[in-house]
Amino acid sequence: MAVDFKEFSRKMDRTLVILQEDFGAIRAGRANARVLDRVEVEYYGVATPVGQVGTISSPDARTLVIQPWDGSLLKKIEKAIQTSDLGINPQNDGRVIRLVFPQLTEERRRELAKQVKKYGEDAKVAVRNIRRDAMDYIKKLKKDSTITEDEQKKAEKDLQELTDKYIKKVDDACAVKEKELMEL
């Protein structure tokens, strides 16, 4: 009997999706509405992402404009952006909030590259935790005499190959994001 790793493979795929979402929140010189995905504002007592309380547009490559549907949220959105880790000062004109993204400095690029590495490490830890769960599953199958010792060894080898493949995908994604950050 071959051990089925589909469930564990799906979890590893999900880890890659989460990593890409994390990368989307790191700005790389261009104005991208995804940097606001993690910025939340209190709206009727509930922490709500900025993208769900107004319209976000990008009139040019370095500017985002946030137009809340409820004008009373302007101050709250402005405060939420100031307290976030975006490093951008919002400009409130009474109707909309403008975010002007400055050219990234070398120092800021290095900080963002460190953040990319941290997200990459977190993703690798998640993949390794999934591998550990799969190893426990294989050992349980062996203990229950569902698989033989040879099948257990083969399953462990296959699992390690699957893990190595996903670790490489994480490394590749990190390298692409770092390259994007370091381009002038």
Q: What is the CATH number of the domain that holds 48?
A: 3.30.1360.40
Write down the pLDDT at residue 105. 78
Note the Cα 145 to chain centre separation in Å: 40
pTM above 0.95, yes or no: no
- Give the Cα separation of 42 and 48 in Å (integer): 6
pLDDT band at 28; cut points 50, 70, 90: low
- Decide which of 100, 129, 155 is a domain's last residue: 100
Looking at the 3D structure of the chain, how many domains does it have? Answer: 2
Shared-domain flag, residues 159 and 176: yes
What is the radius of gyration, based on Cα positions, of the chain? 22
* Four-residue CA torsion sign, 14, 17, 19, 22: negative
> What residue numbers bound the domain in which 72 lies?
30-100
